[in-house]
Structure 1
Amino acid sequence: MEENFNELDPKWNTAEYDEIWNDRLQFFQLNGAPDSKTFKNALKQRPGFKMKARISMNFYAFFFEIIYFLSKECGKEL
């Protein structure tokens, strides 16, 4: 099932994105959306926590969300 990512979608420019995002987007294209059964099964087959987290989690968004939230002054709406 492993195919060359550029063969799947020739319009895709992998040089434009970081390696992590290329891995994520390739995984999504090959296995579907995160709520699909094929996605969940493929994610279970990836070795180790780090490889699974690389696909399913954005660490920067998780750790720095409060800074973004406060910088956009959304805290006033609470």
Structure 2
Amino acid sequence: MYSPMYYLTNKNSTVAKYWRIRTGINQTDTTLTVETNLKLALQNYDGVKNVDFAAVWGQPHTMAERTGNSVDNFISWVNNCLANEN
């Protein structure tokens, strides 16, 4: 699922309600526009409640965070999403 855009254009797909996307500006895998397009497609997809997107200056593609570390930030985000479901 390197490119989830196919699934977003397929009306038979079940898409997650919550998305967290962090992208480092100093990446070599893909351009920032790929992740920006993903963010915009998700924001316009019925059933998606929240897209938490951030481009992080001076970081590589993976594990890009503005503060803290990626594991703790992700766990906190998941817990927040679960709290919003109740």
Which structure has the highest helix share of the two?
A: 1
User: TM-score, normalized by length of structure 1?
Assistant: 0.26
Question: Comparing both chains, which one has the higher relative contact order based on Cα–Cα distances under 8 Å and sequence gaps of 6 or more?
Answer: 2
User: TM-score, normalized by length of structure 2?
Assistant: 0.25
Report which of the two structures shows the higher radius of gyration computed on alpha carbons. 1
Which structure has the highest strand share of the two?
A: 2
